Amino acid sequence: MNAPARRPLRLGVLLALGLLAAGLGACRGDARRGGRGAADPDATGADPAAGAGAEGGTISLSNQDLAPMDGYIRRRFWVLGDDVEIVASKEYFIQNLSISARIGFVRRDDKEGENEAVSTLTFLGKPGEVDFSNAPRVLVGTGISVLARRTLTIRFTRTTSPDLPVRIRIAANGDARMGMGNQVSRRDPSIVLGAQLRRVGGAYVFEEQ
C-alpha cells in the first residue's frame, strides 16, 4: 500500500509580503497558488510533531488530514458586512486566498510584522456607490466570497503550534449578511464563522464554527 502524500506546513518563517503587495494588475492582486508549501500534494515532510515551536520547523499533514478544510473552502457562499476581518493561517491560506481591489474604488495598505502579514482594503467611494463589482473583496479557496462596504482586513498569522496548524476566522460587523447566489440566508448585526484543524491525540480533527 502506498504511503499517503504529505503536505508540509512550514513553521516560523513568514513569507515576504510580496504576494500581497504585488501590483494590482488590471484590477486585482492574486495571492493564490504560489511556490511550494501546503498546496504541494507530492511534497514529503517530517513527522507532524517535528519542528514544533522551532524556527523553520515543519508540520506535515496528509491529504486526508487536509481534506475537510479543502472541502470547506470549496463551499459556495458569500459573507458581507460594513467592516470585515479575516484571520487565517499563513502557511495554508497564502495559497488559497485571492484579493480583489478595483482601482479607483479601493485603497490597499499592506504591512508585515514578525508574526503576521496584514492587508487592509478600504472602499473610497460614497456609501451608496458600493456594489459587488467595486467593493473590497476576497475569495477564499474557490467558493467563499467575502465582501465589505467599508474596510476588509486580512491577517495572515504565523503557525506556531502543531496542535492547531490550520485555521480561519471571518468576522463581519455592521449589517452583516450571509447567503448564496441572490439568496440571503442570514442577517445579523455581526456574523462570525470559521473552521480549524486541531490535533486530538494522534489525529487531526476538523472543527467548524
pLDDT one-digit tens code per residue, 55-76: 456 788 899 999 999 999 999 9
Ramachandran class of 181: left when φ > 0, alpha when ψ lies in -120 to 50, beta otherwise: left
pLDDT one-digit tens code per residue, 150-208: 999 999 999 989 999 999 999 999 999 999 999 999 999 999 999 999 999 889 999 99
pLDDT one-digit tens code per residue, 87-109: 999 999 999 999 988 899 999 99
- How would residue 77 be classed by pLDDT, with cut points 50, 70 and 90? very high
pLDDT one-digit tens code per residue, 98-139: 998 889 999 999 999 888 999 999 999 988 899 989 999 999
- How would residue 7 be classed by pLDDT, with cut points 50, 70 and 90? low
Query: Three-state SS string across the chain, please?
Result: CCCCCEEEEECCCCCCCHHHHCCCCCCEEECCCCCCCCCCCCCCCCCCCCCCCCCCCEEEEEHHHHHHHHHHCCCCEEEEEEEEEEEEEHHHHCCCEEEECCCCCEEEEEEECCCEEEEEEEECCCHHHCCCCCCCEEEECCCEEEEEEEEEEEEEECCCCCCCCEEEEEEEEEEEEEEECCEEEEEEEEEEEEEEEEEECCEEEEEEC
Q: Cell for 46?
A: 517530517
Q: Is the separation of the CB atoms in 27 and 103 below 8 Å?
A: yes
Q: What is the mean pLDDT of residues 21-47?
A: 31
Q: Is the separation of the CB atoms in 160 and 58 below 8 Å?
A: no
Q: What's the pLDDT score for residue 30?
A: 32
Q: Hey, what amino acid is at 50?
A: A
Q: What φ, ψ does residue 33 adopt, rounded to 5°?
A: 45, 75
More confident residue, 11 or 18: 11
Q: Is the separation of the CB atoms in 4 and 62 below 8 Å?
A: yes
Q: What's the pLDDT score for residue 9?
A: 58
Q: Is the separation of the CB atoms in 10 and 48 below 8 Å?
A: no
Percent of the chain having pLDDT more than 70? Answer: 73
Query: How buried is 116 (Cβ within 10 angstroms: 0-12 exposed, 13-18 middle, 19+ buried)?
Result: middle
pLDDT at 4 over 80: no
Q: What's the pLDDT score for residue 5?
A: 59
Q: What's the pLDDT score for residue 54?
A: 37
Q: Is the separation of the CB atoms in 58 and 47 below 8 Å?
A: no
Average pLDDT taken over every residue of the chain: 79
